[in-house]
Amino acid sequence: DTEVTQTPKHLVMGMTNKKSLKCEQHMGHRAMYWYKQKAKKPPELMFVYSYEKLSINESVPSRFSPECPNSSLLNLHLHALQPEDSALYLCASRRDVGGNEQFFGPGTRLTVL
């Protein structure tokens, strides 16, 4: 299994809703990442988890809350989002923080109404 999976593929939510994005990999990778990507723009790093511990938070607003329950799973909990948070949310994983390239998932297309 050499892929990163993300669910759901699409999500529409209101500004008062609470929802979660899920990312999973079974490659034994110990570094996992959340990125936000707007149309025609590069991915922007949000969070990095290394060995299930949060190692980087790129000054992301607290309405985004990451969680890494185990080495294969990464969640992003969403609450009280704004319409400008609408974007493609990408998850990625890497063998470990010092190794090789990142493998990206297909993303969750989020629309905040």
Partner 1 sequence: AQSVSQHNHHVILSEAASLELGCNYSYGGTVNLFWYVQYPGQHLQLLLKYFSGDPLVKGIKGFEAEFIKSKFSFNLRKPSVQWSDTAEYFCAVRSSGNTGKLIFGQGTTLQVKP
Interaction site with partner 1 (CB under 8 A) = 31, 33, 40-43, 45, 48, 50, 55-56, 90, 94, 97-98, 101-107
Residues facing residue 67 across a β-bridge: 75
Q: Which residue in 47, 113, 58, 57 sits closest to 86, CA to CA?
A: 113
Cβ proximity to partner 1: between 82 and 100 the closer is 100
Distance in Å, CB of 59 to partner 1, minimum = 13
Distance in Å, CB of 15 to partner 1, minimum = 26
Q: Could you give the residue ranges of the DSSP H alpha helices within the chain?
A: none
Cβ proximity to partner 1: between 26 and 79 the closer is 26
Report whether 74 contacts 34 (CB < 8 A): yes
